């Protein structure tokens, strides 16, 4: 598959943008990302308008402070002031100087060069919706405190359930504070179902158990376990990853069998749909089948809970019903084939017991807007706490929300309102157009990198927005693929380890020399991994990455970035 992807990337004709698609993209960008007060009157507010005006200058980080009116003086005041005003300040209809300054000089995700990570500018309707939610100020934790907002949450849950082919009458979900909390719920659901006594006795006084997650998963996969009181060193099994960075099914089967053979419980299996740096997508259906088969074989009564961290990749569900044969949006060939291949795995999300949805990432909703989706609403019963702890709530109203099952005692609704508004206004077609624009940029970037001749793409078969790569000194390396294979053997050959360090140092130096020109890329310590040695140990291989989620990014920024690399390297 990797050879097929590379062949496509090497053909310029399959990476072209059709005029029809370009027109659709321009319409969608104008309607939903332009901050146009004629379309969205909220942006006419004086503070918003001045902030937008300044940020459209698209200044580099070192230019922004001096370019802002009285910028250095405002910064000094911000740094030195430590007292609260004693008197009142009358509103005058104007923006507050310090608020406007801090907002304007916050990270500018609207800048077309901003591709550092899985963060992007929110869309206009989501900003509008979030402001509505902030103004209303409902608390989603309890129906009496949320009112109609509770029904709005259920509405969004049904929409997402329908898109992934969950039974909308059985599915449930709740908005929470970021993807980490969603993954925390995923772990907790498994622990409470498999080890119900842990709710009362803690993690140290229960049956033997092991938590399974991937070596390629997000770091919250481990920090959440620490928060839950799991003995990470002795109770966690980190499953190997393949060369494509998805979870190794053979290793998973071996580990599951080892657990079930000695009656060791496995509360949760944590999978990933779209890793942060390389967009690896685990095969949920095969894990689902493996779990069911081994549970039947070993007569395991409570099956491990399968949670999928889809914080990055969930947005691909918008292509579940796309007509790939007729391709009505005229997505270019390289990207169309990549999306279709990715969708073979994304469609397997319906086999997960729960999954994470981060609207705040590739859903273009402001922070924080995250949704934990749960396939079977009865699973929430395992999380229920003693009703006596909720004595100051109306008894008849307690069961109308997930009050007794939630981690939080307060759940704000700004993220929910933003998500609802984004879904309503952009619709499937709007999301398909923007996501395709991002993926076409990613493939164009891959194609241009390959033309340099000194670049090894990391997992180009993972056709997502994340593009990882390693640069090699053309004076020393003539075959980047062969050199990368040598580097992967660094755990068993000291000479190869030295070559890895040499190449790392050279690429890092070039990264620093290039600076932030065209694209604001990031240095990543774990862009790939070495081969496993005889003890199943491995080491990180670093590199550079760009994540094409920014709807404002275009080929102009990519061309400028590539030209700058050529200038620095001299190729």
Q: Are residues 101 and 243 in the same domain?
A: no
Q: Give the residue-averaged pLDDT of 332-349.
A: 97
Of 105-114, 195-204, 320-329, 530-539, the poorest mean pLDDT is in 195-204
| 422: in domain | no
Q: Which tens digit of pLDDT belongs to each residue from 381-401?
A: 999 888 777 767 666 655 557
| 472: in domain | yes
Q: Are residues 79 and 191 in the same domain?
A: no
* Mean of the per-residue pLDDT values of the chain: 94
Q: Are residues 286 and 343 in the same domain?
A: yes
- Residue 157 pLDDT exceeds 80: yes
Q: Return the residue matching tokens 């009458």.
A: 169
Q: Give the residue-averaged pLDDT of 91-113.
A: 94
- Residue 137 pLDDT exceeds 50: yes
Query: E strands, 273-351, where?
Result: 305-309
Q: Are residues 494 and 348 in the same domain?
A: yes
Q: Are residues 304 and 345 in the same domain?
A: yes
Q: Given this model, what pLDDT does residue 397 score?
A: 57
Q: Which tens digit of pLDDT belongs to each residue from 431-473?
A: 999 999 999 999 999 999 999 999 999 999 999 999 999 999 9
3-state DSSP helix/strand/coil % of the chain, to nearest 5: 50, 10, 40
Q: Are residues 170 and 67 in the same domain?
A: no
Q: Are residues 534 and 472 in the same domain?
A: yes
Q: Are residues 13 and 73 in the same domain?
A: no
Percent of the chain with pLDDT over 90: 89
| 208: in domain | yes
Q: Residue 6 — pLDDT band, cuts 50, 70, 90? A: low
553 vs 67, 301, 337, 511, 559, CA distance in Å?
23, 51, 22, 20, 11
| 445: in domain | yes
492 vs 112, 242, 291, CA distance in Å?
43, 18, 34
Q: Residue 1 — pLDDT band, cuts 50, 70, 90? A: very low
What's the distance, CA 255 to chain centroid?
27
The whole-angstrom separation of Cα 124 and Cα 23 is 19
Q: Are residues 378 and 478 in the same domain?
A: yes
| 274: in domain | yes
| 410: in domain | no
Q: Give the residue-averaged pLDDT of 202-229.
A: 92
- Residue 5 pLDDT exceeds 70: no
- Residue 378 pLDDT exceeds 80: yes
Q: Are residues 74 and 207 in the same domain?
A: no
Q: With residue 356 as reference, give the H or E element that holds it.
A: strand 354-358
- Residue 327 pLDDT exceeds 50: yes
Q: Residue 309 — pLDDT band, cuts 50, 70, 90? A: very high
- Residue 213 pLDDT exceeds 70: yes
> Which of 438, 224, 480, 259 shows the shortest CA–CA distance to 342?
438
Q: Are residues 10 and 75 in the same domain?
A: no
Q: Given this model, what pLDDT does residue 2 score?
A: 45
Q: Return the residue matching tokens 């901050």.
A: 35
- Residue 247 pLDDT exceeds 50: yes
Q: Which tens digit of pLDDT belongs to each residue from 352-375?
A: 999 999 999 999 999 999 999 999
Q: Which tens digit of pLDDT belongs to each residue from 415-428?
A: 999 999 999 999 99
Q: Give the residue-averaged pLDDT of 331-351.
A: 97
- Residue 3 pLDDT exceeds 50: no
| 240: in domain | yes
184's tokens: 């925390």
Q: Residue 143 — pLDDT band, cuts 50, 70, 90? A: confident
**Per DSSP, what are the bridge partners of residue 238?**
213
Task: Provide the domain count of the chain.
Answer: 2
Q: Which residue segment(s) compose the domain that 103 sits in?
A: 39-85+93-107
Q: What is the DSSP letter of 453?
A: S
Spatial neighbors of 241 by CB under 8 A, at least 6 apart, are 214, 215, 216, 247, 248, 280, 529
Q: How many CB atoms lie within 10 A of CB 323?
A: 8
Q: Are residues 303 and 255 in the same domain?
A: yes
568 vs 123, 502, 517, 562, CA distance in Å?
36, 18, 11, 10
| 429: in domain | no
CATH number reported for the structural domain that contains residue 275 in this entry: 3.40.640.10
Q: Give the residue-averaged pLDDT of 184-211.
A: 92
């Amino acid at each position: 598959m990797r050879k097929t992807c590379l062949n496509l990337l090497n053909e310029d004709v399959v990476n072209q943008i059709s005029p029809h698609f370009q027109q659709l993209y321009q319409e969608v960008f104008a309607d939903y990302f332009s901050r146009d007060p004629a379309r969205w009157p909220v942006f006419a507010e004086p503070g918003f308008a001045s902030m937008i005006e300044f940020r459209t200058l698209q200044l580099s980080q070192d230019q922004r402070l001096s370019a802002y009116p009285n910028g250095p003086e405002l910064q000094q005041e911000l740094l030195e002031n430590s007292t609260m005003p004693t008197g009142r300040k009358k509103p005058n209809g104007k923006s507050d100087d310090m608020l406007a300054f801090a907002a304007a000089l916050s990270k500018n995700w609207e800048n077309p060069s901003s591709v550092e990570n899985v963060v992007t500018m929110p869309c206009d309707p989501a900003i509008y919706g979030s402001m509505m939610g902030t103004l209303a100020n409902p608390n989603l934790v309890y129906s009496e405190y949320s009112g109609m907002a509770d029904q709005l949450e259920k509405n969004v849950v049904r929409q997402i359930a329908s898109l992934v082919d969950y039974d909308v009458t059985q599915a449930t979900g709740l908005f929470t504070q970021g993807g980490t909390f969603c993954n925390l719920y995923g772990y907790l659901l498994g622990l409470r179902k498999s080890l119900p006594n842990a709710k009362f006795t803690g993690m140290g006084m229960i049956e033997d158990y092991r938590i399974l997650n991937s070596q390629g998963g997000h770091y919250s996969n481990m920090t959440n376990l620490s928060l839950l009181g799991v003995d990470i060193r002795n109770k966690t099994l980190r499953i190997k990853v393949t060369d494509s960075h998805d979870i190794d099914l053979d290793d998973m089967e071996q580990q599951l069998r080892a657990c079930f053979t000695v009656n060791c419980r496995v509360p949760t299996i944590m999978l990933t749909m779209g890793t942060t740096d390389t967009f690896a997508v685990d095969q949920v259906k095969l894990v689902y089948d493996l779990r069911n088969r081994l549970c039947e074989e070993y007569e395991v009564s409570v099956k491990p809970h399968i949670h999928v961290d889809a914080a990055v990749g969930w947005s691909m569900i918008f292509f579940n019903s796309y007509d790939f044969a007729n391709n009505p949006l005229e997505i270019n060939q390289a990207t169309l084939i990549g999306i279709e291949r990715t969708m073979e795995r994304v469609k397997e999300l319906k086999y997960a017991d729960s999954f994470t949805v981060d609207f705040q990432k590739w859903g273009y909703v402001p922070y924080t807007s995250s949704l934990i989706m749960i396939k079977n609403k009865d699973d929430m019963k395992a999380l229920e706490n003693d009703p006596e702890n909720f004595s100051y709530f109306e008894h008849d109203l307690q069961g109308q929300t997930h009050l007794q099952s939630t981690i939080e005692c307060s759940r704000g609704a700004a993220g929910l309102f933003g998500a609802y508004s984004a879904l309503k206004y952009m619709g499937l077609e709007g999301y398909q157009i923007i996501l395709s624009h991002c993926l076409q940029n990613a493939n164009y970037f891959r194609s241009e990198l390959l033309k340099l001749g000194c670049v090894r793409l990391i997992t180009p078969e993972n056709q997502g927005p994340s593009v990882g790569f390693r640069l090699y000194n053309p004076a020393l390396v003539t075959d980047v693929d062969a050199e990368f294979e040598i580097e992967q053997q660094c755990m068993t050959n000291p000479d190869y380890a030295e070559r890895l360090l040499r190449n790392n140092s050279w690429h890092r130096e070039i990264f620093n020399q290039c600076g932030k020109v065209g694209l604001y890329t990031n240095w990543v310590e774990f862009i790939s991994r070495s081969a496993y040695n005889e003890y199943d140990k491995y080491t990180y291989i670093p590199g550079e990455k760009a994540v094409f989620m920014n709807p404002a990014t275009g080929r102009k920024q990519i061309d400028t970035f590539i030209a700058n690399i050529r200038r620095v390297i001299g190729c």
